[in-house]
Amino acid sequence: MPRTVIIDLSSHREILWAAEETAGAIRADQLIVASGAYERSVPFPGWTLPGVMTAGGAQRLIKTLQVRPGRRALITGTGPLLLVVANQLRAVGTEVVAVLEAGRHPRWPQFLVKARGEWGLLKDAFEYWRGLRRAGIPLRFNHTVFEAHGASAVEAVTYGPVDPATWTPIRSQAEQVEVDLLVVGFGLVPNVELTTLGGCDHRYALELGGWVPERDACMETSIPGLFAVGDGAGIRGAAVASLEGRVAGITAAEHAGLLPRAEADRRRAPFLARLESLLRVRAVLDGMSRIRPGLSELATPGTIVCRCEEVALGEVQMALAAGARDLQAVKLLTRLGMGPCQGRNCAPAMRSYLSHATGRTAAEVGRINPRPPVKPVRLGALARMTRAMPADDPFQATIREALS
């Protein structure tokens, strides 16, 4: 069903879908959630200024809208995507003054040993790195943005080194550079709203981007018949995502009685073997760009931390002083996370901030519980809800197409 969003998932695997004009419910015996990820926001002074954008946002401007996002850019964050964006920006004629990687320099020899058998994964990164070298764009490890300056848009950026272990900014060594574009990419956060609403057990795994559903080897969550795959179950990239999808698909077919056990095992085996090999390499990559607590020290009391409700860090600090110890309490006191994004943007950063400030674990700091609808839907569409599929049932049409 194209242009259709899932707005709720009950623990009996009933999904509620919505389109522009109508909505409906489907109960599935086997359900695979592949909801992907969203970009992680890291608040720092000036991050809401026009001219500061996410890596994904910059890519969209270039690739989809064919717009050059700025004349002179600084790129900051962590992970290989920064290199990709640097090359793309250069290709559309933006001058890239530097790429600031908060993580450490990869120790190539050690890394290459671990990557044995999975060169493909490294080849791309290496190509991008070479592109940077050729263009003379400096790549500075253990560096990050401190502040963006400007009256109505970015005019300059202060940045500097961070402590290699904690990523705590070392402000005494700050430098400034004039740019009109600051691209920020601190990685992705799994989109677990649907698995959460569906009642699946989750655990906090920093190296996978945050909260992730618990799964068995065949991608089934703690709710029987409900599978989670891809970035929505932990950030591990496109190759892993598609393998997980295959394993889940085969297993769902097996559960539905369409594949005998032995046949399902036979089909799953090569994908499971490949997954194991890929995950070994990912573990090293993920370790390098795992987000560190020192980033929480970038924001100052005046920094907006929740854009929807315009809550500043100072208000969160006041909530802490008033006894709040978890995200839910901060939410009720400050309205943080009460806006349309439901905390998608502010919660990951505020979780680290609260952990950092209170010494409590991410699990203790808790979560902002997602509420339906997890995607925007009009009242009119819900009011016209039908139990049945829409008349010109695109779902059936897709199935017919696939079968013909």
Partner 1 sequence: MTRASEIVVVGGGVIGCAVAYYAAKRGLRVTLIDQPRRGRATSASAGGLWPLGESIGLGCGVIFYKAQLEQGKVAEAGGPSQLPRAFLDFALQSKALFPTLAGELRETGGLDIELERTSLLFVMYDEADEAFARPLWQNCPCGRSLTEWVTPEELGRTEPAVTRAARGALRFNGDDQLNPYRLADAFRASARTLGAKLLPHTEVRNICVAKGRVIAVETAAQRIPCDAMVNAAGAWAPEIGRMAGIDIPVLPVRGQIVATETLPEVLSACISTTDCYLAQKRHGEIIIGSTTEETGFDVGVTPRALKALTAGAIRAIPFLEQVNVKRAWAGLRPGTPDELPILGSVEGVAGYYNACGHFRTGILNAPLTGVLLSELLSGAPLSFPLEPFLLSRFGAHRDTGASRVGRAR
Ligand X SMILES: Cc1cc2nc3c(=O)[nH]c(=O)nc-3n(C[C@H](O)[C@H](O)[C@H](O)COP(=O)(O)OP(=O)(O)OC[C@H]3O[C@@H](n4cnc5c(N)ncnc54)[C@H](O)[C@@H]3O)c2cc1C
Interacting residues with ligand X (CB under 6 A): 5-6, 34-37, 55-56, 59, 81, 84, 188, 191, 194, 230-232, 237-238, 241, 374-375
Closer CB to ligand X, 40 or 292, in the complex: 40
Closer CB to partner 1, 175 or 364, in the complex: 364
The tokens 């908060």 sit on which residue? 102
Taking a C-beta distance cutoff of 8 angstroms, is the pair 8, 373 a contact? yes
109 to 32, 106, 286: CA distances (angstroms): 39, 9, 17
Closer CB to partner 1, 15 or 75, in the complex: 15
What are residue 359's phi and psi, to 5 degrees? 75, 15
Q: What, of ligand X, partner 1, none, does residue 56 touch, CB below 5 to 8 Å by kind?
A: ligand X
Tokens of 90: 């250069």
Tokens of 218: 């065949």
What stretches of 97-192 show up as alpha helix (H) in DSSP? 108-114, 119-135
For residue 61, the minimal CB distance to ligand X (Å) is 12
Closer CB to ligand X, 23 or 304, in the complex: 23
Phi-psi region of 9 (alpha: psi -120 to 50; beta: other; left: phi over 0): beta
Q: What, of partner 1, ligand X, none, does residue 320 touch, CB below 5 to 8 Å by kind?
A: none
Closer CB to ligand X, 87 or 158, in the complex: 87
For residue 360, the minimal CB distance to partner 1 (Å) is 11
Taking a C-beta distance cutoff of 8 angstroms, is the pair 8, 16 a contact? yes
For residue 182, the minimal CB distance to partner 1 (Å) is 29
Closest CA to 96 of 185, 177, 188: 177
For residue 197, the minimal CB distance to ligand X (Å) is 10
Q: What, of partner 1, ligand X, none, does residue 249 touch, CB below 5 to 8 Å by kind?
A: none
Q: What, of partner 1, ligand X, none, does residue 113 touch, CB below 5 to 8 Å by kind?
A: none
- CA atoms of 160 and 179, how far apart (whole Å): 15
Closest CA to 123 of 241, 290, 281: 281
Closer CB to partner 1, 24 or 230, in the complex: 24
For residue 364, the minimal CB distance to partner 1 (Å) is 9
Interacting residues with partner 1 (CB under 8 A): 8, 10-11, 14, 16, 23-25, 322-323, 325-326, 328-329, 332-333, 335, 339-340, 342, 371-373, 376-380, 382-383, 385, 387
Closer CB to ligand X, 151 or 238, in the complex: 238
Closest CA to 391 of 29, 7, 19: 19
For residue 72, the minimal CB distance to partner 1 (Å) is 37
Q: Give residue number: closest CB to ligand X.
A: 230
* Radius of gyration for the chain, computed over Cα atoms and rounded to the nearest angstrom: 22
For residue 210, the minimal CB distance to ligand X (Å) is 15
Q: What, of ligand X, partner 1, none, does residue 95 touch, CB below 5 to 8 Å by kind?
A: none
Compute the Cα dihedral for 335, 339, 341, 342 and give only its sign.
positive
- The CB-side HSE value for 200 (13 A sphere, CA atoms) comes to 32
What stretches of 136-236 show up as alpha helix (H) in DSSP? 193-197
